[in-house]
Amino acid sequence: MVQQHRIYVLQFDKGEPDQQELSCKVSPPKGAGRRIMYYYHDYGSSGGGGGKNGKPAKSRTLSLRGFFGLLLICFCCFVTLLAAPGDFFSFGRIGDAAEAAAAATQQQQQSAPCSGVVGNDTLCCDRTSERADMCFARGDVRMHSASKSFQIVSSSGSAAAREGELEEERIRPYTRKWEADVMNGIDEVRLRRVSPGDAARCDVRHEMPAVLLSTGGYTGNVYHEFNDGLLPMFVTAGHLDRRVVFVILEYHDWWMTKYGDVVSRLSAFPPIDFTADRRVHCFPEVIAGLRIHGELTVDPARTPSGRGIGDFRRLLDDAYRPRLQYLERMERRANRKQRRKVALVPPRQEQRPRLTIVSRATTTSRVIENEAELKAMATDVGFEVRVVQPQRDSEMCKIYGELNGSDAMVGVHGAAMTHFLFMRPGKVFIQVVPLGMDWAANEYYGAPARRLGLRYVEYKIRAEESSLAREYPAGDPVLTDPEAVSKRGWQVTKKVYLDRQNVRLDLARFRAQLVEAHRYIVASNAGRFDRSKSAG
Q: Which residue has the higher pLDDT, 120 or 440?
A: 440
Q: Is 456 helix (H, G, I), strand (E, B) or coil?
A: strand
- The mean pLDDT of the chain is 81
Q: What is the pLDDT of residues 64-81, one digit of tens each?
A: 555 555 566 555 555 444
Q: Which residue has the higher pLDDT, 385 or 331?
A: 385
Instruction: For residues 223-249, give the mean pLDDT.
Output: 97
Give the whole-angstrom CA distance, residue 510 versus residue 512: 5
The pLDDT, as a whole number, for residue 68 is: 58
Q: What is the pLDDT of residues 467-512, one digit of tens each?
A: 999 999 999 999 999 999 999 999 999 999 999 999 999 999 999 9
The pLDDT, as a whole number, for residue 199 is: 96
Burial 496-524 (b: 16+ CB within 10 A, else e): bbbeebbbbbeeeebbebbebbbebbeeb
Q: Which residue has the higher pLDDT, 314 or 55?
A: 314
Nearest C-alpha neighbor of 241 from the set 318, 323, 152: 318
Give the whole-angstrom CA distance, residue 64 versus residue 66: 5
Instruction: For residues 339-344, give the mean pLDDT.
Output: 53
Sign of the torsion angle spanned by Cα atoms 385, 391, 395, 400: positive
Sheet holding 455-460, edge to edge: 384-388, 354-358, 408-412, 428-433, 455-460
Q: What are the C-alpha distances in Å from 152 to residues 123, 155, 386?
A: 8, 9, 54
Cα angle at 464 between 461 and 469, to 5 degrees? Answer: 115
Q: How many CA atoms lie within 13 A of 328 on its CB side?
A: 15
Instruction: For residues 237-245, give the mean pLDDT.
Output: 97
Q: What is the pLDDT of residues 25-36, one digit of tens each?
A: 333 343 444 443
What is the CB neighbour count within 10 angstroms for residue 26? 11
Of all residues in the chain, the percent with pLDDT exceeding 70 is 72
